[in-house]
Amino acid sequence: MITRPLALVTGGSRGLGRSTTLALARQGADAIITFRSGEADAARVVEEAGELGATVAAFQLDVGDPDAIAALGRDLPEIARDACGREQLDYLVNNAGHGAVTALGHTDAETLDGLYAVHFRGPFLLTQAVAPLLADGGAIVNLSTGLARFSSPGYSAYGSLKAGLEHLTRYWAAELGPRGIRVNAVAPGAIATDFAGGKNRDDEQSRAFVASSTAMGRVGEPEDIGPLIASLLTGPTGWVTGQRIEASGGMRL
């Protein structure tokens, strides 16, 4: 019996997480996805992946909650065994996140703490909890952002935390390299999701601005990112690790 690879994708119920999960399904991988509040969206991803021949299980997780992450680390082998018939993971995608405006002079500590909890502390603690369950020769992809390279007023904390995650990616690549585990970061540009209230999806003025500052002349779609992440995990990329791979369509070159 051929064992299908198994991935853990945080924030897998919508946007880039959904696109990644379905791309993995098309490439013959099963997945466990997490969601914070979109249970109905997660159920649809499970159904869509099933139509592609994949087994996907969904469960609720707030990546900003250290206790919830610790519980996942304890329960994941049982979750994986019950859902997919195995206890070991092959891939981890640290995707879950949210945006918040942090203009200088108008940002409170609670907003900063919330961004830090989800975009840096959460991936750190989750990877730490999951790493012992990752198969040697596996792979991790961390989701960064084009805003770690170029600035956009109002997103200083978000962009800076993602830049920190990129640096962490290189550390993890060195630490996990002896086990053959690759760790890379994918940095999308402006994508038509519900990030920041969905302005890159729904606001025509914002879409026109993005298109005018992007070499490919349009806003990105989730389907521009998910297959790239899946290929980094499952494709012939075994000699690529510790890298930041920007997928922005050439935004602000």
Catalytic residue numbers read 158
What six digits make up the tokens of 67? 């206790």
What is the H or E stretch that residue 152 is in? none
Under 8 Å between Cβ of 90 and 135: yes
| Strand, coil or helix: 34 | strand
Cβ distance 3 to 29 under 8 Å? no
The C-alpha atoms of residue 15 and residue 45 are separated, in whole angstroms, by 11
DSSP secondary structure letter of residue 249? S
Query: Measured between alpha carbons, how far is 63 from 251 in angstroms, rounded to an integer?
Result: 29
How far is residue 156's CA from residue 161's CA, in Å, rounded to a whole number? 9
